[in-house]
Structure 1
Amino acid sequence: MSEVLKFVYQHPLISEADLDKIASQHHLVQFKKNEFLLKEGETADEYYILTEGLVRAFVHDYDNNEITTEFFVENDIVIIPSSLFQKVASQENLQAVTDCRLLKIQYDDFQELFHQIEGFREWGRLWFSYQVFTMKQRSLDVVMKTASERYLKLMKEKPQIIQNVPLKQIASYLGITDTSLSRIRREIMQT
């Protein structure tokens, strides 16, 4: 069984046997750099656990500019929850930023495990509450932190993004222009 799955699905109520059952429903898939895991308008029927590489979620704004809404790094769950769980067309795209290896689980298999394994249900509740907290904190950061502070936080929490993602995508994620990001990076390098 994958160490990644042990890490992602750790919960005191999930036994080793439960983890084996959960792992059996995940299948290795690979995407090349710039390939799409999900495109706007499609409905998700699976989610992924990223074992290697980087993935981003993005939308097109009113001027058709790409705006990055999320970055996923190793051990992250790559998902568009509204599309998967509400069975609606995704407003976001999921795209490999680098070559990626992921473990995929189909929605129906997830649902079956969710109803069979109490610890998996509890894990799911904790995971969703953490996602809500993270999303709320990110919206507060946009209002309460400077662009430099947001960049430094991203550098600290997910340095692989800073090292491997084009500046334009990082800037859109931080809600700033490429020029502003270049200035911030210069200022940080000088200190």
Structure 2
Amino acid sequence: MKDIVRSAYRHPLLVGEDLERLVAAHHRCEVEKGKVLIPEGQVAGEYYILQSGLIRAFVHDYEGSEITTEFFVAGEIAIVPDSLFQRSPSKETLVAATNSVLWKISFDDFQLLFHQVPGFSEWGRLWFTQQLFAMKQRSLEMITAKATDRYLRLVTEKPQIIQHVPLKQIASFLGITDTSLSRIRKEISQ
């Protein structure tokens, strides 16, 4: 089922044999809920494309509490970019929030293909641009959007998170307390 890998690398310059080389560099792995893929403090050696399941990224705040920084769903790339590309210890932990099927590519294979396949570098430039835009949008929404609106957007864009992830983790991702999230959910359901 490497179609999910082909889909993740959709780009007009990434076709034919070049795309198939990239797809072949990915290896299928199944992980159980709770499996840590990249622990805090370790240099990321790979990234993943999700076929199914949910992956959560989190950090510990200054008080030691877990704060969810991202949820990755099917079709998305689960990655800790600063650790992978700067070869630095990860500040985030990447963990399976549900049983998941992933396609993994190692940093070494990525580097080799990135330099050998021109379409891959163009895909990478576009992907990073999209990620930067999404990150900026999220940080602006954390300041300008009401918590209810942030929650509704999450429900619309990634409904599987609401079904499979504990409220505490969702609340931390939205930048609100568990109590506030419970109140929002109650108001919406009325």
Into which bin does the TM-score normalised by the smaller protein fall? over 0.9
Per the normalisation by structure 2, the TM-score is 0.98
Q: How does 1:147-186 map to 2 (within 5 A)?
A: 147-186=147-186
- For 1:18 and 1:9, locate their aligned partners in 2 and report how far apart those are by CA, in whole Å: 11
CA deviation profile, 1:116-161 (whole Å, cap 9, x unmatched): 1111110000000000000000000001100000000001111111
User: Hey, what does 1:142 align to over in structure 2?
Assistant: 142
Partner letter of residue 170 of structure 1? I
Whole-Å Cα distance in 1 between the matches of residues 149 and 107 of structure 2?
Answer: 37
One-letter code aligned to 1:133: F
User: Which residue is 1:130 aligned to?
Assistant: 130
- Quote the Cα distance in structure 2 between the aligned partners of 1:42 and 1:18: 31
**Runs of 5+ unmatched residues, structure 2:** none
| Deviation of 1:22 (Å) | 0.4
| Number of positions where the alignment pairs a residue of Structure 1 with one of Structure 2 | 190
1:23 paired with 2:30, answer: no
Letter in 2 for 1:25: A
Q: Distance in 2 between matches of 1:123 and 1:55?
A: 23
Match of 1:64 in 2: 64
- Stretches of structure 1 that go unaligned for 5 or more consecutive residues are none
Counterpart-to-counterpart distance in 2, 1:34 and 1:15: 36
Could you say what secondary structure the match of 1:62 adopts? coil
Give the equivalent residue in structure 1 for 2:50. 50
- Residues 29-40 of structure 1 mapped to structure 2, 5 A cutoff: 29-40=29-40
CA distance in 2, matches of 1:14, 1:130: 17
Q: CA RMSD in A?
A: 0.8
Segments ≥4 residues shifted beyond 2 Å = none
* Whole-Å separation in 1 of the counterparts to 2:14 and 2:84: 23
Match of 1:106 in 2: 106
Secondary structure, in 3 states, of the residue corresponding to 1:102? strand
Give the CA deviation at 1:163: 1.0
Report how far residue 15 of structure 1 moved.
1.4
| SS of equivalent residue, structure 2 residue 30 | strand
- CA drift of 1:97 comes to 0.5
What is the percent sequence identity of the aligned residues?
Answer: 58
SS in 2 for 1:176: coil
Distance 2:123 2:170 in 1: 30
Q: How far 1:7 moved relative to its partner?
A: 1.1
Alignment TM-score, normalising by the size of structure 1: 0.98
Q: Which amino acid aligns with 2:172?
A: S
Q: Specify the SS of the correspondent of 2:70.
A: strand
Q: Equivalent residue for 2:41?
A: 41
Deviation at 1:29, TM superposition (A): 1.1
